[in-house]
Amino acid sequence: MPSPTPQTEENLTDLVPDLPADLLAEPPHPDVALVARAKAGDTAAFEQLIRQYERQIFRTAQHITQNREDAEDITQDVFFKAFQKLDQFQGNSKFSTWLVRIAVNESLMRLRKRKTSKTVSMDQDVQTDEGSIPRDFAEWRPNPEQNYNQAELAEILRKTIAGLPPGFRTVFTLRDIENLSTEETAEALGLSVPAVKSRLLRARLQLRERLSRYFGKKNEGSAKL
């Protein structure tokens, strides 16, 4: 007996021409129902949303501000603001992207307060060419994990990303650490897609250059932290 033909979207509509389009659409993200319940006053639903995204929001804030206490305050403020503005969330973007956008704004505001004499924005220091042209061509062997223990590696990663300008650090955090798409990163930061790509390239190359000091093959043994 021949095996049945797999049902693609195309042949389903051929077979059942009147099939409603919404049956063929992707199922809604589970957050949509949680947000609707939270809007209707369901505290457990809002608490569930906090549980789902608190780690991501905290890490994003800490990467941008480089300060743990600030990140804690910002995380609380982000969820409180989200709660207050829940009615304004229209569902045009993912709920997580909406939260990240609030977190980025709050984090940059916190940096501005800290550096009262300097303007801190997504554009700060991004004109620098430092690190945008590779200079270090040493291979990383063995892999970074093999030369350092967890605590040493964490310190290297913290020190290295802290040296990036906030505009680069933020793009790298959202795109490469938190795994947002280029489009979601652009939306969260209010940047164009080409601007995100350009900053991401430079952020990656600068980090690579700085990490090469620790992980490059030319360093026999571990570099000093």
Partner 1 sequence: MNCTDFLAKLTDYFDGQIDPDLLAEVKQHLGTCHHCEVVVDTTRKTIDVYRHHQPYDFPEELSTRMREAVMERCKATGKYPDVEKRASKPTGT
Q: Is 205 in the site for partner 1 (CB under 8 A)?
A: yes
First vs last Cα of the chain: how many Å apart?
A: 67
CB of 1 to partner 1, least distance (A): 39
Contacts 24+ apart (CB under 8 A), 126-129: 126/165, 126/167, 126/168, 126/199, 126/202, 128/165
Site for partner 1 in 25-84 (CB under 8 A): 40-43, 46-47, 50-51, 54-55, 58-59, 62-63, 68, 71-72, 75-76, 79-80, 83-84
Q: Is 158 in the site for partner 1 (CB under 8 A)?
A: yes
* Cβ partners under 8 Å of residue 163, min gap 6: 210
CB of 119 to partner 1, least distance (A): 26
Q: From CA 206, how far away is CA 64, in angstroms rounded?
A: 16
CB of 156 to partner 1, least distance (A): 8
Q: Is 179 in the site for partner 1 (CB under 8 A)?
A: yes
Minimum CB distance to partner 1 smaller for 33 or for 154: 154
CB of 123 to partner 1, least distance (A): 19
Q: Is 129 in the site for partner 1 (CB under 8 A)?
A: no
Q: Is 222 left (phi over 0), alpha (psi -120 to 50) or beta?
A: beta
Q: Is 146 in the site for partner 1 (CB under 8 A)?
A: no
Q: Is 144 in the site for partner 1 (CB under 8 A)?
A: yes
Minimum CB distance to partner 1 smaller for 68 or for 119: 68
Site for partner 1 in 94-113 (CB under 8 A): none
Site for partner 1 in 8-27 (CB under 8 A): none
**Residues touching partner 1: how many (CB under 8 A)?**
55
* Cβ partners under 8 Å of residue 34, min gap 6: 45, 48, 49, 95
Q: Which residues bind partner 1 (CB under 8 A)?
A: 40-43, 46-47, 50-51, 54-55, 58-59, 62-63, 68, 71-72, 75-76, 79-80, 83-84, 133-134, 137-140, 143-145, 150, 153-155, 157-158, 161, 172, 176-177, 179, 182, 197-198, 200-201, 204-205, 207-208, 211-212, 215
